[in-house]
Amino acid sequence: MIEVVASLSRGPVFLAGETLECLITFTNPLSHRSTSASSEMLAWASAQIHCQFHASENRVMLPSETPKQDVQAENETVLVPNRGERGQCFLATPPKILFCDLRLDPGESKSYSYRETVPVEGPPSFRGQSVKYVYKLTIGCQRVNSPIKLLRVPFRVLVVHGVEDTQFHHDEAVAPSNPFLEEEEGTKKDSRLVEIATEMLMMATSRRSQHLFNITNARGKVGKFCIFKTVYRIGEDIVGTFDFSEGDIPCLQFSVSLQSEEHVLEKYQRRPNQPASLTAHARHQESCLHTASTHFCLPIPLSATPGFSTDIVALRWRLHFEFVTAGEPMEPPTVPENQSEIITWTGAEQINVDTFSWDLPIKVLPTNPVLASYVAHVEAELLCFSQLILGFVKGLFCSYSVLCMRGLWVRKSRGVQWLWGICEERFTDLDYADDSVIFIESMEALIIALERLSEESEFLDL
């Protein structure tokens, strides 16, 4: 038996055009003291990046193609990275051979470094209702006269248009350098690529100008809406304000939804005039009767896909507004001049209402892949939380969750394999609640809480 472990050194998110680096370790896990221990031989191993494309048969009509045989003979030595997967290979890099004729004695392991540039001509990673674009690093190895075994490492790709046209040598000629730091040429270029992409995104999303919109319906003016920009990066907050003080029609309630629209191009639509697929990412709803002004704040998830377009599908973003207005004017509650008097205001039991909606298109761009990778690690660590435990520690009441510390250490040392170690953990001497909820004020507060929880878990031998 051979154990294969793949670890992405930088994280699971990359820019198109950036170099992906993966450390691949082959280990013979048997101990040399075992009676059945023997050397293991591998004929070859290679690695390759590919983007797998899958379309929904209910929404997308692709040109008919001759089906390919998906069964690989035992004596075949050709690496097919998408073997056994649905869909078709959208693009792939040339395979790179890691080794040939590798022998591992019991307890021995060998590591190989794989480096490849993420293709710039591909789409970003996307899992939609109509189509899916999934990037994977596939590692294949084979014994003699045995079938090929595949290990797939999924990763995420963000596309920043215009970065691939940047000339690096002009910038590097005038950039200050530190003679005491040795940096590889490839690493330096990747770092510069991320810096230039981040600067481009910052310039595109930092421009602010006041955009005012009058909200009206058939009966008259309802209010005003103000937003300071319409171009955002994933991870940013969308902030907007409403002013109902000058409205003629009372607004009883409003809601704002952050939605992405997945449009299939006309020639690939399964049905004529096929509507776009909508996905809601955040929503704010508020009752606003007799409210002069208010605001909302909608976060754009870092896991969301920025807007893009291919020959088959286009992804766009919008803010979807829904308003509920009264059919007739409503008198506001009377405020007594003498504050000692107490009055009670009761709303009407029945009101004739009108509803209408409005869509405001916005642009959503990528962000720094390092930030997206870091948040992906934090989200993965949240999966390690067990159910909520309530108890008293050193006289202070606290609520905390138990972390599989062994699983976390496996994650730090084995990259994408860390979840397997966690799934093997079992708790036998703790009483759990039925559910758990974690409230945090900021990402920094969550990191501090994770560090404290790690210390407490070590103290309790968990």
Q: What is the DSSP string of 333-395?
A: PPPPSSTT--------S---EEEEEEEEEEEEE---HHHHHHHHHHHHHHTTB-S-EEEEETT
* Ordered alpha helix ranges (H), 81-152: none
Which backbone phi and psi does 455 adopt, to 5 degrees?
Answer: -65, -45
Lowest mean pLDDT among 180-194, 212-226, 245-259, 380-394: 380-394
Q: Are 215 and 323 in contact (CB under 8 A)?
A: yes
Residues 397, 400: Cα–Cα separation, whole Å: 10
Residues 123, 56: Cα–Cα separation, whole Å: 17
Q: Provide the β-strand partners of residue 359.
A: 320
Per-residue pLDDT at 129: 93
pLDDT at 434 over 60: no
Q: Is the dihedral of CA 318, 324, 328, 330 positive or negative?
A: negative
SS3 195: helix
Across 126-143, average pLDDT: 93
Residue with the bigger pLDDT between 90 and 184: it is 90
Across 63-91, average pLDDT: 68
- 172 C-beta neighbours (distance < 10 Å), count: 12
- 63 C-beta neighbours (distance < 10 Å), count: 6
Across 365-391, average pLDDT: 60
Per-residue pLDDT at 1: 79
Lowest mean pLDDT among 52-66, 222-236, 267-281, 396-410: 396-410
Per-residue pLDDT at 86: 86
Per-residue pLDDT at 10: 84
Per-residue pLDDT at 377: 56
Per-residue pLDDT at 436: 46
Closest CA to 324 of 358, 360, 280, 295: 358
Per-residue pLDDT at 329: 74
Q: Which two tokens mark 173?
A: 């000629």
Residues 306, 431: Cα–Cα separation, whole Å: 43
Across 240-262, average pLDDT: 94
Which backbone phi and psi does 95 adopt, to 5 degrees?
Answer: -70, 145
Residues 46, 96: Cα–Cα separation, whole Å: 5
Per-residue pLDDT at 192: 84
Burial of 207 (0-12, 13-18, 19+ CB in 10 A): exposed
> Over the chain, what is the mean pLDDT?
78
Q: What percent of the chain has pLDDT over 90?
A: 48
Q: Which two tokens mark 308?
A: 């893009």
Q: Are 410 and 417 in contact (CB under 8 A)?
A: yes
Across 372-384, average pLDDT: 58
pTM here? Answer: 0.73
Residues 373, 207: Cα–Cα separation, whole Å: 26
Across 272-297, average pLDDT: 93
Lowest mean pLDDT among 231-240, 256-265, 302-311, 345-354: 345-354
pLDDT at 91 over 70: yes
Residues 192, 166: Cα–Cα separation, whole Å: 10
Across 14-25, average pLDDT: 93
Per-residue pLDDT at 411: 30
Lowest mean pLDDT among 123-132, 316-325, 440-449: 440-449
Across 115-142, average pLDDT: 93
Bridging pattern class, strands 231-233 and 353-365:
parallel
Residues 366, 457: Cα–Cα separation, whole Å: 37
Residue with the bigger pLDDT between 273 and 335: it is 273
pLDDT at 185 over 60: no
Across 332-337, average pLDDT: 68
Per-residue pLDDT at 238: 96
Q: Are 123 and 31 in contact (CB under 8 A)?
A: no
Per-residue pLDDT at 432: 39
| Vertex 44: Cα angle to 42 and 46 (nearest 5) | 130
Across 172-193, average pLDDT: 58
Per-residue pLDDT at 177: 54
In Å, what is the CA distance from 342 to each residue of 289, 291, 338, 339?
Answer: 21, 21, 9, 8
Across 120-130, average pLDDT: 93
